[in-house]
Amino acid sequence: MNTSDAPTSAFRRPGALCALLLALIFSAGSPGGAQGAGPDLLVFAAASLKTVLDDVNAHWQANAGKRAVISYASSAALAKQIEQGAPADIFISADEDWMDYLAERKLIRPETRSDLVGNRLVLIAPKGADLHVDIIPGFPLPSLVGHGRLAMANTDAVPAGKYGRAALESLGVWDSVKDRIAQAENVRAALLLVSRGEAPLGIVYKSDAVSEPAVVTVGSFPESTHPRIIYPVAVVAGSTKPDAAAAFIDLLRSPEARSIFEKQGFTILE
């Protein structure tokens, strides 16, 4: 029951917590755990990590006999849920701000925090679009959007949306499109709008574009136009499974996981 799966999540979903609770209920009685037991770990992860973490989780189950329930949503929504007492073991944010938010409230174990991977910001269009965009200061984004809207994650709170807004402001085109944004709950919801042809263009991470065959990348944003995209990971302070959490984080840094991250368009941080 991942929070980024439902098509309606872009605008109408009230939040990820209900989906998370349902996931926990169903997982308690589902096969795959030791003798039908519940999951070994509960991971809260940015929606853009879904493809990679699903693969890593399957690898963990196949090779170690352990499994995690992973709740995907915007970093903002997940951080707020942790603040409200949601029983997560690991938090993986798509930016440093929301990890800092939890750190300031002593809701993560600071000694476990580290930077996991990086990402790039790209402009996408539905598959088949015959378009290449040179993303430079003042590029004609309004005319490229036409009568449609530009799909983005929420530009006030969600990391992908904040990065995208920063890039458009740096390039001097934000004011010309700010009233024509289709704001989505998270970056995967923005990706969905473009993949279904409901928006002619969207701003997402490179990894999202790689994961969705129904879109094409038509331009890449210079990294100098926005803050560096970094995904920090940490064990949540209230976790009752710190050993399992540490083992899962070690797996995320393994050669096998690094290969999955790179294949999906993420940047390995040295």
| Pairing of β 201-205 and β 150-153 | parallel
Rounded Cα gap, residues 132 and 121, in angstroms: 15
187 annotated among ligand-binding-site residues:
yes
CB atoms inside a 10 Å sphere around CB 175: 9
Single out the residue of 95, 97, 93, 91 nearest to residue 109, CA to CA: 91
177 annotated among ligand-binding-site residues:
no
Rounded Cα gap, residues 258 and 248, in angstroms: 13
Rounded Cα gap, residues 174 and 172, in angstroms: 6
Give the strands of the sheet with 41-46, arranged side by side. Answer: 68-73, 41-46, 90-92, 230-235, 114-118, 267-268
75 annotated among ligand-binding-site residues:
yes
Binding residues: 48, 75, 160, 187, 205
Binding residues for molybdate: 48, 75, 160, 187, 205
